[in-house]
């Protein structure tokens, strides 16, 4: 760590008085390649990065504080705004944590629909990552191809939840509503097309000479360092550690689906790229199994104190009306206790640590964000490298600032 580096937020452009080649520059916070509002202060020696100091918090909305002042159900919409590229996955994560606190089992059909949500979110997130990653490195064609498919994915999400981004599709003890046959058919069309599309993306990049030069051996991290930094998700697996929450600590019945966890060996940008591409194929594989074996039966738990009654019954029956009124205005109480529950979202391990004192809102809700911990490796990855590779490194970590800052 350089003691002469200005680490405050007031750091500004400087030229070293001793050596005119050494300059301190600001990158961001509004920079097209920082994927949101990330600010880096870079100390450069010509084209080499000597030191990199990230400044976060430009998107900090105090979600953990807000959670302490909302009922459990009211917090679900906030999870849409964390990783806004895969809101469905975060929706599932929060309700699983609350259900563990309540010791609530959901029906099989509900779990299967949640798996669809998680994997659909992974496909959508990786499509965006691939497009922008390639765009950051100058390969604009890939961007148009992935965004075409991402639009298709968003059409599916919109038809499922009513919104492209603010999905809020899960409920404690169930889902907003069941999925219908027509939508499942359209999902099957999408996943039938995806493997071919991933092959097409690969044909543009995997053996592309420029892509190889920009990614191979760049931004490498060892397995040990990645673990020490708390890295999770595809970036950790690219470094050779096959830790995947879906395999290690299955939830939503992931243990019933066959899929592989791709790993890399070098831990460089190219390996992260290959791992994510393979994850897309595995997501398709999981989705296909869910569609083939989607269980029938109820989607929601039959607990009127926790799950909202059907609207039709609310309008005709007194008891249901009261339950609806109570859940909406006051929420439900969770038993006193604490749980940490994590899920494998596209970026890595997303954990919710909830401390309850038996009230209707959490006493403390902590969001363990994968992007935050992955981004912490950035100085380690870029220092000593070229300034142009900073952009490649950020893109390969796939951080979403909404999730970093929360």
Binding site residues, other proteins, CB under 8 A: 1, 7-10, 56-57, 60, 62, 64-66, 68-69, 100-101, 103, 225, 227-230, 232, 241, 243, 248-249, 337-340, 342, 349, 351, 353, 355, 363-364, 366, 368, 372-373, 376, 405-406
Q: Which residue has the tokens 């990783």?
A: 83
| Between 49 and 191, CB nearer to other proteins | 49
Shortest approach of other proteins to residue 123 CB, angstroms?
26
Residue 241 to residue 387: CA distance in whole angstroms: 28
Instruction: State in angstroms the smallest separation of the CB of 385 from other proteins.
Output: 19
The least CB distance from residue 230 to other proteins, in Å, is 3
Whole-number minimum distance, CB 9 to other proteins, in Å? 5
Q: Which is nearer to other proteins, 304 or 337 (CB)?
A: 337
Question: Least distance from C-beta 78 to other proteins, angstroms?
Answer: 14
d(CA 225, CA 229): 6
Q: Which is nearer to other proteins, 66 or 184 (CB)?
A: 66
Q: How far is the CB of 224 from other proteins (least distance, A)?
A: 8
Q: How far is CA 97 from CA 62, 197, 298, 335, 354, in A?
A: 20, 35, 21, 13, 8
348: left (phi over 0), alpha (psi -120 to 50) or beta: left
Nearest 5°: phi and psi at 366? -110, 135
Q: Distance of alpha carbon 386 from its chain centroid, rounded?
A: 28
Closest CA to 238 of 207, 279, 200: 279
- Integer Cα distance of 123 and 282 in angstroms: 10
Q: Which residues contact 208 (CB under 8 A, 6 or more apart)?
A: 139
In the bound state with other proteins, the residue whose beta carbon lies nearer, of 33 and 227, is: 227
If the CB atoms of residues 62 and 295 are measured against other proteins, the closer one turns out to be 62
Closer CB to other proteins, 146 or 342, in the complex: 342
Distance of alpha carbon 231 from alpha carbon 233, whole angstroms: 7
């Amino acid at each position: 760590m350089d003691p002469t580096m200005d680490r405050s937020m007031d750091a500004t452009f400087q030229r070293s008085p001793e050596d005119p080649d050494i300059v301190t520059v600001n990158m961001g916070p509004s920079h097209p390649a920082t994927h949101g509002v990330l600010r880096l202060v870079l100390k450069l020696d010509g084209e080499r990065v000597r030191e990199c100091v990230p400044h976060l918090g430009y998107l900090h909305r105090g979600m953990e504080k807000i959670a302490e002042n909302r009922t459990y159900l009211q917090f679900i919409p906030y999870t849409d705004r964390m990783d806004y590229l895969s809101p469905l996955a975060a929706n599932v994560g929060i309700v699983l944590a609350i259900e563990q606190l309540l010791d609530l089992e959901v029906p099989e059909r509900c779990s299967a629909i949640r798996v669809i949500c998680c994997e659909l979110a992974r496909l959508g997130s990786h499509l965006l990552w691939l497009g922008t990653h390639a765009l950051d490195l100058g390969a604009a064609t890939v961007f148009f191809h992935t965004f075409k498919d991402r639009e298709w994915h968003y059409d599916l999400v919109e038809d499922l939840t009513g919104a492209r981004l603010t999905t809020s599709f899960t409920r404690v003890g169930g889902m907003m509503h069941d999925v219908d046959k027509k939508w499942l058919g359209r999902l099957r069309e999408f996943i039938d097309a995806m493997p071919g599309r991933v092959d097409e993306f690969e044909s543009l990049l995997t053996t592309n000479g420029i892509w190889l030069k920009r990614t191979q051996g760049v931004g490498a991290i060892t397995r040990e360092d990645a673990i020490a930094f708390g890295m999770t998700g595809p970036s950790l697996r690219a470094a050779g550690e096959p830790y995947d929450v879906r395999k290690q600590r299955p939830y939503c019945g992931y243990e019933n689906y066959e899929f592989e966890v791709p790993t890399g060996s070098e831990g460089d940008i190219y390996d992260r790229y290959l791992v994510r591409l393979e994850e897309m194929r595995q997501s398709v594989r999981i989705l296909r199994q869910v569609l083939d074996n989607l269980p029938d039966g109820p989607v929601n738990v039959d607990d009127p104190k926790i799950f909202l009654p059907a609207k039709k019954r609310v309008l005709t029956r007194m008891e249901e009306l009261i339950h609806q009124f109570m859940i909406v205005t006051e929420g439900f109480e969770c038993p006193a206790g604490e749980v940490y529950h994590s899920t494998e979202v596209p970026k890595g391990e997303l954990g919710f640590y909830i401390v309850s004192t038996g009230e209707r809102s959490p006493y403390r809700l902590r969001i363990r964000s994968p992007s935050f911990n992955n981004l912490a490796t950035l100085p380690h990855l870029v220092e000593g490298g070229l300034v142009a590779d900073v952009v490649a490194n950020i893109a390969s970590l796939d951080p979403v600032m909404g999730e970093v800052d929360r």
